[in-house]
A and B are shown apart, each in its own frame.
Chain A
Amino acid sequence: MNVLTDNFATFARGFLGTVELTVYASLLALLLGFLMASFRVAPVASFRMFGTVWVTVLRNTPLTLLFFAVLLGLPRFGLVLPFQVFAVIALGCYTSAFICEALRAGINTVPRGQGEAARSLGMSFGQTLGVVVLPQAFRAVIPPIGSTLIALAKNSAIAGAFSVTELLGTYKTLSELGYNIVWTFVWIAVGYLIITLAISALFNLMERKWGIAR
């Protein structure tokens, strides 16, 4: 128990680091994922191709390799940013591929007749998508996006191994100080459980408010 009370500041810093990383990477992933999903639906072939390549490659890239390439590779091009920012870029790009597929799958749950009806009422592409299809897809998309973001929070642990301040990284400091390593890991596990449970509670709430069963 005194592992936690003695080092509350260290744990708190790590915890906040993980939360920060998760929030920023989530925002980037949602943004990029939405962009890629719209690319994959676009009527222009080269956009579609770009989206497909982005998703296929990133979904099959080991995240460690991506971290390795981004955190250690980009500085070789003279691009020097804080490691935290690199970690957000790597996590965000990786997760955006999964967000994109979740969004696409969500649009596919909307019955075809909805789009056809909107078209036959004379709505434009933008109207069809914005007024009819996306609002319905949004409801179906909440649970998969939630589980993707939970995975993102868990994946942020990898950043700790690349010397970004983060919850898992705290074990190194504490084991050097000679604290009981098992208890250190118990509290790290509790920290991750708090984050993942918070995300899943948030998305449960959203689903209860807006979700529908199809």
Chain B
Amino acid sequence: MSTEATALYDLPGPRTRRRHRFYGVLSAVVLLALIGWILHLLFDTDQFTYTKWMPFEYKGIQELLLRGLGNTLKAFAIAGALSVALGGLLAAGRLSDHRPVRWSATAVVEFFRAMPVLVMIFFVFVALKVQPLPALVTGLTLYNGSVLAEVFRSGVGSVERGQREAAFALGMRKSQVMAYVLVPQAVRAMLPAIISQLVVALKDTSLGYLITYEEFLHAGKLIASNLDYDLPFIPVVMVISPIYIGMCMLLSWFAGRVSRRERRSPKTDAVDVAAAEPGTLLPGGDPPTAPRP
């Protein structure tokens, strides 16, 4: 039982606590049974035979996996950097004083946010006949750049009005107001949102598998479809998914950490990001930032 106060139910008395403990034990037993059943299935279908795990001992296979991981990280690094740049550009376009610029930037952002990333990647790959890596990076950049443009724009928009007015009153030009006053405050407050968008980009690099970009999942697929090792599909999934999920979790955790830091920092006081609630109804802290689907 958590010690945090929650308004949804009273602090349980001795009898309720006993009942809860009973439920807890019961559900733990059910969960353990479930895990046991899965393990039984795994053993039953011979997933732990030596032949199936043997490939991971080979230097060549390890190098194949590492190269795949490297390619994934490479695609992520390029796509991430380009997305942030494109996001900044599009956000500047949307905040422009010139109507045609604003409208065209809005059209671009809205269109690419409404399209599935995979459609863009396939379009670049199939219709424009581009190599897998540039195709993947283009698709990811267009999508994540458009989303980040919205993040940047709402960030700048959420800086307290007085800041902008004071800067204009000091005689700054619009570019100065942006560069010296609004953007520095907005970026600090938006950093968690930016990082969690990068988690989305990292997750979506796995789409490269579908256009035969030689990334991590693709390397796994190569090993999994090898008849010599008795098609070690499940072992491959068991090796690959913890690494993939771990990388994404690490980045998400980092976003959460940055967000908690920002909330304490006086430098972001003027930015109105989701004001802290006096108290919440639910036990357990609310994760401040989350990767979007």
Contacts and interface: CB of A to CB of B under 8 A. Distances in A.
B233 A46 contact: no
B292 A151 contact: yes
B152 interface: no
A142 interface: no
A112 B20 contact: no
Nearest to A45: B24
Contact of B293 (A40, A95, A119, A160): A95
B210 to A, nearest CB: 4
Question: For this complex, into which size category does the number of interface residues on chain B fall?
Answer: 35 or more
B144 to A, nearest CB: 13
B49 interface: no
A209 B233 CA distance: 49
Given A61-B245, A65-B217, A101 B24 contact: no
A192 B116 contact: yes
Contacts of B45: 76-78
Given A56-B249, A98-B293, A168 B209 contact: no
B33 interface: no
B293 A46 contact: no
Contacts of B162: none
Contacts of A40: 282, 284
Nearest to B293: A151
A148 B293 contact: yes
A111 to B, nearest CB: 8
Contacts of B170: none
A71 B258 CA distance: 36
Contact of B240 (A57, A65, A119, A188): A65
Contact of A76 (B123, B210, B233, B248): B233
A44 B9 CA distance: 12
B290 interface: yes
A126 B287 CA distance: 25
Contact of A185 (B2, B117, B123, B205): B123
Interface in B80-127: 114-119, 122-123, 126-127
Nearest to A186: B123
Interface residues of A, number: 65
A212 interface: no
B172 interface: no
B27 interface: yes
Q: Which of A73, A148, A196 has its CB near the most chain B CB atoms (within 10 A)?
A: A73
Given A46-B24, A107-B282, A151-B292, A62 B244 contact: yes
Interface string A89-123: 00000110010010011011010100110010000
Nearest to A160: B118
A161 interface: yes
Contacts of A192: 114-116, 119
Interface stretch (B61-69, B178-186, B261-269, B273-281): B273-281
A158 interface: yes
29 contacts: A43-B1, A43-B20, A44-B24, A57-B245, A60-B249, A61-B241, A62-B202, A62-B205, A62-B244, A64-B206, A64-B210, A68-B220, A73-B233, A101-B287, A104-B282, A112-B7, A112-B280, A115-B7, A128-B8, A155-B293, A157-B116, A160-B118, A161-B210, A168-B122, A185-B119, A185-B122, A185-B123, A185-B126, A192-B116
Given A63-B203, A171-B122, 10 more contacts: A41-B8, A43-B20, A45-B2, A60-B248, A60-B249, A65-B244, A77-B45, A108-B286, A112-B277, A193-B114
